Amino acid sequence: MKVNILQGIEGAKQAKGVAVIIDVFRAFTVETYLMKNHAYKIIPVGDVDFVYSYKHVHPDVVLIGERNGKILPGFDFGNSPSDVDKIDFTNKTILHTTSAGTQGIMNAKCADTIITGALVNAKAIAQYILNNKFEDVSLVCMGLGGVEETEEDTLCAKYIESLLLGNELNITEEILQLRYTSGAKFFDETQIDFPMEDFAYCTQLNVFDFVLEVVKDDLPYMKRVDVL
């Protein structure tokens, strides 16, 4: 098995084999909670204009997403796991667009298989890869806006890599340190779009035993795959 850790949108474009598109703060933490709360279908989208046009034709869809961390006009929810965890999404189709995570999915065009990555299901991600015996693994850290490396996504990638190689890292201290680096915004009272609760949601380790795999359809969507 060959494991590569890549960064941002450019990294997504280079991804081969199975691409794990990692966005810990917060896109793919959010999607695990949406699926946990029984979402019927999650459609990742890169283009905001497409979201609005789709909503016009399909008024019952739920819109979730952000740009620069802020909820988009007319959207039902921002990109906050603490907000969506309180909602029952049974039978709901969700369009999800973000500054980094969903952009990675849209740009991983050379990958054979695409799944999402977060700390909350990191062990399930590694087991999924091992179960499917992928030869090429691309761990793509989407970072800030898909252009700037961030500590949480790179930490998640290194942790998944360690699981794949059979040498699980203890990242407890590194997770705690995120509060003072890329996670500091969650503890800044002026950053109202980043509630403090989201930090705890995003930094829980291995609380879900499923992965989210992209189904390559005319309109790609996320499928839950139970692993552990």
Q: Is pLDDT above 80 for 184?
A: yes
- Give pLDDT, residue 64: 98
Q: The tokens of 21 are what?
A: 């598109």
Q: At residue 3, what are phi and psi to the nearest 5 degrees?
A: -115, 125
How many C-alpha atoms does 63 have within 13 Å on its Cβ side?
20
Contact present, 54 and 95 (Cβ < 8 Å): yes
Is residue 226 assigned to a domain?
Answer: no
Per-residue pLDDT of 7-37, as tens digits, reads 999 999 999 999 999 999 999 999 999 999 9
- Give pLDDT, residue 189: 94
- Give pLDDT, residue 199: 98
Is residue 42 assigned to a domain?
Answer: yes
Is residue 220 assigned to a domain?
Answer: no
- Give pLDDT, residue 163: 98
Q: Residue 188: give its domain's CATH number.
A: 3.90.1560.10
Is residue 225 assigned to a domain?
Answer: no
Q: Is pLDDT above 90 for 228?
A: no
Is residue 222 assigned to a domain?
Answer: no
The pTM for the full model equals 0.97
Per-residue pLDDT of 108-124, as tens digits, reads 999 999 999 999 999 99
- Number of domains the chain contains: 1
Domain that holds residue 38: 2-215
Q: What is the mean pLDDT of residues 126-138?
A: 98
Q: Please give the Cα distance from 4 to 150 (Å, whole number).
A: 17
Q: What is the mean pLDDT of residues 199-221?
A: 97
Is residue 61 assigned to a domain?
Answer: yes
Is residue 224 assigned to a domain?
Answer: no
- Give pLDDT, residue 10: 98
| Secondary structure (H, E, C), the chain | CEEEEEEHHHHHHHCCCEEEEECCCCHHHHHHHHHHCCECEEEECCCHHHHHHHHHHCCCCEEEEEECCEECCCCCECCCHHHHCCCCCECCEEEEECCCHHHHHHHCCCCCEEEEECHHHHHHHHHHHHHHCCCEEEEEECCECCCECCHHHHHHHHHHHHHHCCCCCCCHHHHHHHHHCCCHHHHCCCCCCCCHHHHHHHHCCCCCCEEEEEECCCCCEEEEEECC
Question: What is the C-alpha end-to-end distance of the chain, expressed in Å?
Answer: 21
Is residue 221 assigned to a domain?
Answer: no
Per-residue pLDDT of 81-102, as tens digits, reads 999 999 999 999 999 999 999 9
Q: What is the mean pLDDT of residues 141-146?
A: 97
Per-residue pLDDT of 34-53, as tens digits, reads 999 999 999 999 999 999 99
- Give pLDDT, residue 122: 98
Residue 58 CA: distances (Å) to CA of 38, 53, 54, 55, 92: 20, 9, 6, 5, 12
